[in-house]
Amino acid sequence: MSSSADLPRKDRKIKPSALCELCHGRKAVMKRPKNLQKLCKECFFLVFETEIHNTITSAKLFQKGEKVAIGASGGKDSTVLASILKTLNERYEYGLELVLLSIDEGIKGYRDDSLATVKRNQQQYEMELEIVSYKELYDWLMDEIVSCAGIRSSCTYCGVLRRQALDRGAAKLGIHHVVTGHNADDMAETVLMNILRGDTARLENSCSILTQSSGSPIKRSKPFKYSYQKEIVLYAHYKKLDYFSTECTYAPEAFRGTARELLKGLGAIRPSCIMDIIYSGEHFVLAQKKKVTKSYKNGRDKKAATAEDEQEINPDGSVALKTTKRDGNTCEKCGYITSNKICKACVLLAGLEASRAKASVDGSEEGAAKLGKTLELLSF
């Protein structure tokens, strides 16, 4: 931080109460949303970037020489991510090769415009850009999916297909690491959503900074895990970054919207609640499901019971079905990594195809919408 002697004349006359609490020289321009500290622009940039650097180093996210794909949507989070990773890569000599990877879901009037922003970012940050489309991967545009399956399940379809598309795009580039702009607010919303749905299986991993499906060569990480959305927006604003700010045409998932509102209300009373929820999510450990082994007559004892004879009892007393889940499998249809015989994307696409065929016969669009709702409740 600079001393007051280095400051421009105008900053030397500032009332002490209006000064930045870190450099005590420049005028504060904001109250930091994370801790309400009054900061000038320059000190905010430095502390914000340093915190992300600390997150990256303490989680050992990157290795020297690694090629990393930045999931680039053109929105504020991924644009700030690209800008900050470029800065940190140069400042701390991470030795990364950074590439922008964009998925074109096929949403007219939204993704086509945001991709134009990513193309400008490519020039501004001097990074390679790869664009992969749903049309080329799945032969469906998101607009077609919505008109077939309805808007209510659009986020379910889009989320599954995008995750796979990012992996496929990375594989195409020979990259094994994708970073995304998911931030602290997104993480806290996900924890809240999973609690409210009683989805304990998802809750356990909802705060991981680094994830990788077993058998998959692609890992994913979230360097903004501890960064507040409001601070990302402030950073983009004061740095005058070029980003696309329109919300997706197919409004955000209804339930996530509810969790977002809830979080906003909580944050107004207790600003630290975002971090507190993440902390709770990180320390949440599932109690082991009770396993019971059937008892056998006719000479078979407990030891002879096979794995098939074991049942899992859910907390509400219901019996869980035995699944054929295995890690490292590949989908019988598309070859993508899955723990089931057919991957989730192929199940969704098959439902859409069936719906399209049915709709062409009797005009009904119910099948895919129903399937989307059912899939939300299943864990893959």
- Going by DSSP bridges, is the β-strand pair 97-104/210-211 parallel, antiparallel, or unpaired? unpaired
State in angstroms the smallest separation of the CB of 248 from ligand ATP.
7
State in angstroms the smallest separation of the CB of 184 from ligand ATP.
12
Q: Helix or strand or coil: residue 194? A: helix
Angle CA 97–99–100, to nearest 5 = 160
* Residue 107 within binding range of ligand ATP, rule CB under 6 A: no
- The nearer residue to ligand ATP, 43 or 166, going by C-beta atoms, is 166
Q: Helix or strand or coil: residue 32? A: coil
State in angstroms the smallest separation of the CB of 304 from ligand ATP.
50
| Mask for 256-295, x = binds ligand ATP (CB under 6 A) | ----------------------------------------
Q: How many residues bind ligand ATP (CB under 6 A)?
A: 14
For 74-112, b where at least 16 C-beta lie within 10 A, e where not — what string? bbbbbbbbbbbbbbbbeeeebebebbbbbbbbbbeebbe
* Window contacting ligand ATP (CB under 6 A); options: 56-64, 85-93, 100-108, 270-278: 100-108
Q: How far apart are CA 55 and CA 188, in angstroms?
A: 17
Neighbours of 145 (CB within 10 A): 28
Beta strands in 157-259, from DSSP E residues, in sequence order:
177-179, 210-211, 219-221
- The nearer residue to ligand ATP, 73 or 227, going by C-beta atoms, is 73
Q: Is 186 annotated as a binding residue?
A: yes
Q: Which of 47, 72, 88, 161 binds ligand ATP (CB under 6 A)?
A: 72
Q: Is 181 annotated as a binding residue?
A: yes
DSSP 69: E
Those residues with Cβ within 8 angstroms of residue 9's Cβ, 6 or more apart along the chain or in another chain: none
| Mask for 158-197, x = binds ligand ATP (CB under 6 A) | ----x-----------------xxx---------------
Q: Which of 103, 141, 146, 148 binds ligand ATP (CB under 6 A)?
A: 103
* Residue 73 within binding range of ligand ATP, rule CB under 6 A: yes
Residue holding tokens 């993508």?
A: 336
* Residue 102 within binding range of ligand ATP, rule CB under 6 A: yes
Q: Is 78 annotated as a binding residue?
A: no
φ/ψ of residue 48, rounded to 5: -65, -45
Q: Which of 77, 167, 231, 253 binds ligand ATP (CB under 6 A)?
A: 77
- The nearer residue to ligand ATP, 25 or 181, going by C-beta atoms, is 181
Q: Helix or strand or coil: residue 47? A: helix
Q: Is 71 annotated as a binding residue?
A: yes
* Residue 78 within binding range of ligand ATP, rule CB under 6 A: yes
Number of continuous H segments (helices) and E segments (strands) in the chain:
14, 13
Known binding-site positions: 71-73, 77, 103, 181, 186
Give residues in contact with ligand ATP (CB under 6 A). 71-73, 75-78, 102-103, 105, 162, 180-182
